[in-house]
Chain A
Amino acid sequence: MGSAPLLAVEELVVAYQTPSGPVRAVDRVSFVLERGEVLGLVGESGSGKSTVAQALARILAPPAMITGGRVLFEGHDVLAMNEDELRRFRWRKMSFVLQSAMNALSPVLTIGDQIIDVLVTHERTSKRVARERAAHLLELVGIDPTRLASHPHELSGGMRQRVGIALALALHPPLVVMDEPTTALDVVVQHEVLSKIAELKEKLGLSVLFITHDMSIVSQFATRIGVLYAGRLVETAPTRELFRAPRHPYTKGLLGSFVSIHGPRRKLVGIPGSPPDLRRLPAGCAFRARCGEAAAQCATEAPVLRVIAEDHHTACHVVSP
């Protein structure tokens, strides 16, 4: 098993049933995440990034279905697991920190209940031992253990998000998926939570799949970055390489609207037009309508990921190595 990467996603396809038929929200996405790595998945809302994340543990709610591909975790295909295997796999191997912990924690249960729950289910510990461990977890993220008896609404947004992180670390999983973990927070608290994540990542040697629409955040964290557009990966490269030499016109647009970590941060407004309607994707390249460099080939043939430079892939007809 040592040779298998921690996570290898191959040609993953996810569709949602809609009144006008199934719609592909994720289309043949492939990537690899090695141990100790932080992979950033970047894209606008609706690009399919959260769908990819939740498909990895098969926790997408109806009307979603996975219609193709493989998700290999330490060499085992998650898509081939039965319900029992999935339950044992979840949280022990892969845990989640979701956007806005207000909604990620049930409002009627205490913080303690929701952490202890995981420990009792997976490790069959007694409630007393679980409570002690939950207290330690809270301390780890800098929250007073007496807060175990609190309900989510009694905590601030930043505290809730740190509870979410503590919860994600409860079983020491090798991989934590963080889906926009700081989006709902104000800038100061955002910074606080991000440094907590950075600190714990170093301390515990976690691997992280980090999902965001915010290029400046991902630049601080990720070792590699994948850019999603309309459900497809359009570029993957090591962070440094991507920032130094973006190749896909969409990535260039994203980075063009992003000045620097310390400068004023802007949302993805640098690209004219809006993301396409997934129900009516045009033939050829999905980005063509917004692309300043489109060629005739782009209207007829969908580009696939190709090697552009060492460890740098781009799905674009007009880019040449």
Chain B
Amino acid sequence: MRYLLRQLGLYILAAWASLTLNFIVPRLAPGDPASAMFARYKGQLQPEALAALREAFGFTGGPLHEQYAAYLAHLFRGDLGVSVAYFPAKVTDVLAMGLGWTALLTGSSVVVAFALGSLLGVIAAWRRGGAFDTTLPPLLVFLGAFPYFWLAMMLLYGFGFTLDVLPLRHAYADTLAPSLSFSFVASVAEHLLLPATSIVLASVGGWMLSMRSSMIGVLAEDYVTMAHAKGLSPLRIMFHYAARNALLPNVTGFGMALGFVLGGSLLTEIVFSYPGQGYLLVQAVRSQDYPLMQGIFLTITMAVLAANFLVDVLYVWLDPRTRGR
């Protein structure tokens, strides 16, 4: 289990680094935008609210280490300040609204893209140089080169506006209230389809290429030659012997790429007005809501670190060599 402990240590360190960055960046910025922010809010917020916001950011007027301590103390109490865009809601409450939707959209599309891309990569490597292998990768590279949100806009234009077969925005129909009824779940799925498809289209090529090159390496290994020599069926060699080994570096890459794909999926949310963190992010940027921006940065970082740790647990399960160590 030493492997998992080491990874956990890395994530704790990364969590601390992002908390600290969150503290430092407003103070390092030239022109003191934080003060400017407080000055601008003076008209908008009541004096108590402004004081609370200063507190939460650690702008207490004391020396830096005291400010840092005050900031951390508020953070660990779950106080990220008040949102300006959604005043008087607390940032934590605003974030809570969007977290589930982002997890649903990003989670489902990343898993589908990874599974599909890996499968395509396995097949392409197995039939290297064949028709499938020569046509699909360039096509998917081209698709993947478009900005995620651009593909999202095109899908929205095509299927939403022109063909009018799928909903244009939001996570479920306005006429429904969240419940576990069939009509609500169906509506959620219907609203998920287009944004998820655009994320899958944009990211599947990357997974395919990395799985393909990992497979090509594995196919040259002696244990694959042995599997052929043993007279096993091609499907068994391809998946049980080759793909299972080729998957390992890709699972590590999955954790690393998660943050990157998430960036794209946040922008996709904006196109569909999908009520997740990305949608909140654009609201925050437009109304210069610094507390909300920073809150989003922290929650998303924590979520990505947690997801990375889950991927590590999966890795240990997949690779017996990491278990003893």
Contacts and interface: CB of A to CB of B under 8 A. Distances in A.
Contacts of B219: 61
B319 A108 contact: yes
Contacts of B248: 108
Interface in A54-112: 54, 57, 59, 61-62, 83, 86-92, 95-96, 98-100, 103-109
A175 to B, nearest CB: 12
B226 to A, nearest CB: 5
A88 B222 contact: no
B225 A98 contact: yes
A153 B226 contact: no
16 contacts: A57-B228, A61-B225, A87-B232, A90-B230, A90-B231, A91-B229, A91-B230, A95-B230, A98-B222, A98-B225, A104-B226, A106-B244, A108-B248, A109-B241, A117-B236, A121-B231
B245 interface: yes
Interface of A: 54, 57, 59, 61-62, 83, 86-92, 95-96, 98-100, 103-109, 117-118, 121-122, 151, 153-154
B228 A104 contact: no
A98 B233 contact: no
Contacts of A99: 222
Given A61-B220, A108-B245, A108-B319, A98 B226 contact: yes
Nearest to B219: A61
Nearest to A94: B229
Contact of A104 (B220, B222, B234, B321): B222
A59 B321 contact: no
Nearest to A54: B225
Interface in B209-249: 219-234, 236, 240-241, 244-245, 248
Contact of A106 (B228, B231, B241, B324): B241
A249 to B, nearest CB: 34
Nearest to B218: A106
A105 B128 CA distance: 24
A96 B128 contact: no
Given A62-B128, A95-B229, A103 B321 contact: no
B61 interface: no
B214 to A, nearest CB: 13
B230 A106 contact: no
Main secondary structure of the interface of B (DSSP, over half): helix
A122 B233 CA distance: 10
A57 B229 contact: yes
A178 B223 CA distance: 15
B31 interface: no
A104 B244 CA distance: 15
B249 to A, nearest CB: 12
4 shortest interchain CB distances as A-B pairs: A90-B231, A103-B222, A59-B228, A151-B320
A117 B235 CA distance: 13
Nearest to B226: A104
Nearest to A164: B226
B320 A90 contact: no
Given A57-B228, A92-B231, 7 more contacts: A54-B225, A59-B228, A61-B225, A83-B234, A86-B231, A105-B223, A121-B233
B229 A103 contact: no
Interface of B: 128-129, 219-234, 236, 240-241, 244-245, 248, 318-321, 324
Contacts of B231: 86-92, 118, 121-122
Contacts of B227: 106
B272 to A, nearest CB: 40
A59 B229 contact: yes
A188 B11 CA distance: 46
Contacts of B324: 154
A133 B309 CA distance: 40
Nearest to B227: A106
Contacts of A103: 221-223
B230 A100 contact: no
Contact of B230 (A54, A83, A118): A118
Nearest to B324: A154
A88 to B, nearest CB: 7
A104 B229 CA distance: 11
Nearest to A101: B222
Contacts of B226: 96, 98, 104-105
A321 B239 CA distance: 56
A90 B229 contact: yes
Contact of A100 (B220, B222, B228, B241): B222
Contacts of B220: 61
Contact of B229 (A96, A105, A109): A96
A317 B81 CA distance: 93
Most chain B CB within 10 A, of A59, A92, A95, is at A59
Contact of A107 (B233, B234, B236, B320): B320
B101 to A, nearest CB: 36
B251 to A, nearest CB: 12
A208 B244 CA distance: 32
A100 B225 CA distance: 13
A96 B244 CA distance: 22
Contacts of A100: 222
Contacts of A151: 320-321
B223 A117 contact: no
A61 to B, nearest CB: 6
